Amino acid sequence: MALTGSWVIDELQIASPGSAAPRVLLQIERLQLDPGRLYLVTGRSGAGKTTLLESLAGLREPASGRIELGGRSLWSKRRPVRELLLQLGVSLQHSESQWFASTVREELNYSLRPYRTRSRAAELEQGGWIEALGRSGLAADVLDRDPWSLSGGEQRRLALACVMACQPDWLLLDEPTAGLDRAGAAQLRASLARHVRAGGGAIVVTHEPWLLAGQCPHVILSMADGRLSGQGQAMAAHPQSLAAAAQALREAGFRLPAEPPTPTQLARQIAEQLRPPDNPTIEEALAAEAPRSARKEADEAENAPLVREHTADVLSRQMPQPDASPQPNVSMTRVAAAEPDPAERHSWSRFDPRALWGGYVLLTAGILQQQTWLGLGAAAAACAYPLWRLRSCLLPWQGLIRGYSVMLLLVALLAGLQLQPLQLELESSLVTAQRLTRLLLVMLLGIPLTQLVSPLRLKRALEQVLRPLGRLGLRLETFTLLIALIFRFVPLQLAQWERFARIAQARGKSGAKPGRIPLRELHRVLIPFMMSLLRLADQMTTALQVRGFGSGRSKTQGWRLRMGSGDGLLLGAAAGIASLLWLLQQWLSAS
Ligand SMILES: Nc1ncnc2c1ncn2[C@@H]1O[C@H](COP(=O)(O)OP(=O)(O)OP(=O)(O)O)[C@@H](O)[C@H]1O
């Protein structure tokens, strides 16, 4: 492997995308990561570890600051530089659910595809991937199997094999040990050590640093609140004693007792301090839930030899001391405390769902009546205020809105196009454009409703509104639940789509803008997305059965929605606007 370059991060800020009031998710003043080392990024859930990794992988565009690899900026003209992306092997969280090809062989070949132009492509195709399979603990006979037929752990190994096969200079792995058994973790640890000793670098987000450290020089970077809270040269860099290892961990921000801890104590202390505050301790879980704690015990028993093995490594191996090069310069800047997404606490979500939906139906009726551009303009003006107030709810959908607007123009053009003789019939174009614009307005008003009304409140509202029909003997349970679930799934599936798009981008290395999938690559997102939909439907069915759906127990009884004066005002305003729009339409059609 050619000696690769260092990462330099300078004054970096990453903000939440698609929000009216973007939140700073990651803020790093300066950080340098050098090849020949394994960087283990740890921290509690939501600390910003994945955000850091995705930023390095070119999947999150910086709001400000600089990311450089080997002296070159990762971003150029708001796109990640493809040449640099080719130096990275990225495995994101749950990347084992990314499969779109029908065999393991095709999946591996797809991972190698971006390297076809590079000189080592031929060598990789010759058998580099068989070696990668072996190193990930998979036999070559899986090559012709459907990736979805592999077990969860095998799929995780395949995801790692896809990354390793490309022999990238830098490995960027997000929680690679999740779902791996002990042997798999040991194989991964050995692969990482081999990679680092060969001059490559690795940045690994993990909640289990002790599973991966031990065979090569490594640095623990700990994160909290979207910032780096500490770093330390850990065990293998100071293998002389556990006390030295404990000291290194203390420097990384861990609180450890003054006397040298035993290996098990050390592992427990680290695990304890990485535990989110609201998670139960093993002891609490033991008391609360016997079967689950038994499983934890089994896990612990399984990991104990690893911890011992790791410590034995630390004590016995005389790893070379790290060179005298300057330590990564990590400085800290406080990031504003995490706030919920503005859409989640939009003041309009306090309105009764019946008032919101009633208002929407009234305005929609007013819009759909308009048959002239003048009437449509008046309807748009009437909707301007609610749309302005709800703009933060529209931002996540801006891609869809933009796409629809482009489609509107194209369809309108095509509608007016005449081939013989070639000319544009403006009137036909305008009629089509008018119809599609009416729908655009209706869509813009409807989108915020998915965020303003929670599925539970929607279900309750439907039950209350439709109760008279229930008295006639109609079973409305299925209907109300279906509507509530559809509204629950829309934002959920949007997030799911974004996740698969990121995984496809990380594998495809096309250098496209984050979130943009070239049309020819669409199926690589669509297939895993559809598979995830099917899995979700399956899980949902089970969950509904467990909760007694169908037995009449699933009604949201016990609380009632009550309309307030604000709700009345909202409905009154919508009814007033709808009436004015109706009068306008009557007047326009009469004149
Ligand atoms: N697109 C987004 N919009 C808004 N907030 C986001 C977005 N992506 C991430 N966040 C928030 O940023 C914070 C950091 O998320 P991140 O996924 O980086 O955490 P993490 O340290 O990797 O957590 P975990 O260990 O649970 O995976 C979280 O609070 C998360 O909710």
**Whole-number Cα distances in Å, 73 to 9, 150, 550:** 10, 39, 58
CA of 50 to the centre of ligand 1 (A): 7
| pLDDT tens-digit series, residues 384-415 | 999 999 988 888 788 788 889 999 999 999 98
Q: Where are the beta strands (DSSP E) in 152-290?
A: 170-174, 201-205, 218-224, 227-233
Choice between 86 and 509, residue whose per-residue pLDDT is larger:
86
* Shortest-distance atom of ligand 1 to CA 338: 29
355 close to 571: Cβ distance less than 8 angstroms: yes
**pLDDT band (50, 70, 90) for residue 362:** very high
Q: What is the pLDDT of residue 544?
A: 66
Tell me: the pLDDT tens digits for 90-145? 988 877 778 888 888 888 888 877 776 455 555 555 566 677 788 888 888 888 88
Question: For the whole prediction, is pTM greater than 0.80?
Answer: no
Residue 291 CA to residue 285 CA, distance in Å, equals 10
**Residue 550's pLDDT is what?**
57
Q: Is the dihedral of CA 566, 568, 571, 576 positive or negative?
A: negative
Which CATH fold would you assign to the domain 7-87+168-316? Rossmann fold (3.40.50)
* 486 alpha carbon – ligand 1 mean position (Å): 25
- Predicted local confidence at residue 279, as pLDDT: 46
Cα of 45 from ligand 1 centre, angstroms:
8
CA nearest neighbour of 462 among 308, 335, 357: 357
Of 39-53, 321-335, 349-363, give the lowest mean pLDDT range.
321-335
Question: By alpha-carbon position, which residue is closest to atom 17 of ligand 1?
Answer: 50
Distance, CA of 68 to CA of 5 (rounded, Å): 9
Ligand 1 atom with minimal separation from the 498 CA:
1
Return the CA Rg of the chain: 28
Dist. CA 414 → ligand 1 center (Å) = 44
Alpha-carbon span 156 to 423, nearest angstrom = 57
Q: Whose CA is nearest to atom 5 of ligand 1?
A: 16
Distances (CA, A) of 561 to 117, 457, 556: 62, 8, 11
Q: Are 263 and 241 in contact (CB under 8 A)?
A: no
Overall size of the chain counted in residues: 591
Give yes or no for residue 219 having a pLDDT over 50: yes
Token couple for 440: 């655009």
User: Which among 12, 14, 24, 51 is the best mutation to test ligand 1's pocket, defined by most ligand atoms within 8 Å of the CB?
Assistant: 51
Residue 338 Cβ inside 6 Å of ligand 1? The answer reads yes
Task: Give 21 Cα–ligand 1 centroid separation in angstroms.
Answer: 16
Closest CA to 525 of 166, 95, 86: 95
Quick check: CB of 50 below 6 Å from ligand 1?
yes
Task: Report the separation in Å between the CA atom of 95 and the middle of ligand 1, taken as the mean of its atom positions.
Answer: 17
Q: What's the confidence (pLDDT) of residue 48? A: 92
Question: Where exactly are the structural domains of the chain?
Answer: 7-87+168-316, 344-396+438-590
Q: Are 84 and 169 in contact (CB under 8 A)?
A: no
Query: Which atom of ligand 1 approaches the CA of 43 most closely?
Result: 21
pLDDT at 6: 92
- Our answer on whether the CB atom of 279 is closer than 6 Å to any ligand 1 atom is no
- E strand or H helix that includes residue 26: strand 24-33
